[in-house]
Amino acid sequence: MSIHHCLGICLLLSSTVAMAQEPVAAAPSPIATPVMTQPLPEFPGKEVLLLSVEFPPGAVDPVHRHDAEAFVYVLEGNIIMGVAGGREVTLRPGDTFHERPEDLHTVGRNASSQKPARFLAFLIKDAGKPAVIPAD
């Protein structure tokens, strides 16, 4: 084997190792912005929380729960959602999704790696409790 051939193999191996060591960029997270919180006097201890949620391209939600009745209405883009024991669904503008307080939200991601997605989330929850509870 010639010296040039050996040098070529070494260079190829070292560049492959360097590429393998580059950190992989984490998927962006969704951005939830509170729009309105309203106590429900007819239901003591309950409130409504309206959130505007933006999923940047490629965004992924961590597994979580809401401990609330959660209703989603998609405004823009395509979002893939699912809860434990259910099937994944792809939601488009005008589509809706519902989560019960006991549901574990296992899938939430932007279906596109190039276009943003947005939805409104309407939660009926215990007053003062967080909107999102990380999974155990």
Domain ranges of the chain: 31-134
Residue 16 reports pLDDT greater than 80: no
Mean pLDDT, residues 126-130: 94
Query: What pLDDT band is residue 70 in, cutting at 50, 70 and 90?
Result: very high
CA distance 120 to 70: 10
CA distance 98 to 21: 41
Residue-wise pLDDT tens digits, 107-118: 999 999 999 999
Mean pLDDT, residues 86-104: 96
The predicted pLDDT at position 27 comes to 84
Would you tell me how many other CB atoms lie within 10 Å of the CB of residue 64?
16
Mean pLDDT, residues 63-92: 96
**Cβ–Cβ < 8 Å for 89, 120:** no
The predicted pLDDT at position 39 comes to 97
Which CATH number among 2.60.120.10, 3.90.226.10, 3.40.50.300, 3.30.950.10 corresponds to the domain 31-134? 2.60.120.10
Whether this prediction's pTM lies above 0.85 is answered by no
The predicted pLDDT at position 21 comes to 53
